[in-house]
Amino acid sequence: MKLSILQVTVSEIPVLHQILVECGLDLQTRFNLYYWVPPYPLEKMLKDTNKMDIYAIKLDSELVGTFTIETKMPSGYLKYGNINWQNPSLAAFYIHRLAVMPFFQGKGIGTWCLHEIENLAINRNYSALRLDAVKTNQKLLKFYEKSGYKKVGEMIFYPENKYEDAFVFEKVVA
C-alpha cells in the first residue's frame, strides 16, 4: 500500500470534484451534515487552479482523495472571522477541501495527508498550517485537534447564513 500526492492540472479537476460530491453525500447520509451538499462548484474549482494548488491523493494507482492549498489568507477569514493567530506574521498554507473517499476513511490517509502537507510547507519555507472546520462536525474537529492543530478562532456567517459557522485551526510547523 503506497500513498502519494500529486499536483493536478485543470483537466483532472472534474474527477477530484466528484470526490467532493461523494464525500458530501456521505456526510449527509451518515452524519446529517449538509455543508457539502450541494458541493463546492466545479466552475469555482476550475478557476481556483489559477491561484491555488490542487492535489490528488493516490493509494497505489487509485485516486482516493483531494486537498487544496492557498498561500494567501482567504477573504472569508477577514470578513467573517474572529481569529487570534499564534503569530499573524508567519507565512502560512491555508488548507481547503481535504477529502478522502468514504470507503477509504478511517485508514490513516487523512493523518498521512496532513503530514505530507506539513512537509510541503516546511520545504517551501512556510511556518504555519491554517484551516477551518464546521462546528457541527465533531469527528472532524477532534481529528484536527488530535493532529496537533490549535483552535484559534471562529467564523460566524450569520446573518448571511450561506455556510455553517466554523472553527479556525492553526498548527505552527517551523
d(CA 112, CA 82): 29
3-172 CATH fold: Aminopeptidase (3.40.630)
Digits of tens for pLDDT over the chain (174 positions)?
899 999 999 999 999 999 999 999 999 999 998 888 888 899 999 999 999 999 999 999 999 999 999 999 999 898 888 999 999 999 999 999 999 999 999 999 999 999 999 999 999 999 999 999 999 999 999 999 999 999 999 998 766 655 688 999 999 998
- Domain spans of the chain, in order of start: 3-172
d(CA 129, CA 171): 5
pTM (2 decimals)? Answer: 0.94
Give, as one character, the DSSP assignment of residue 134.
E
d(CA 53, CA 36): 20
Look up residue 57 and give its three cell numbers. Answer: 491523493
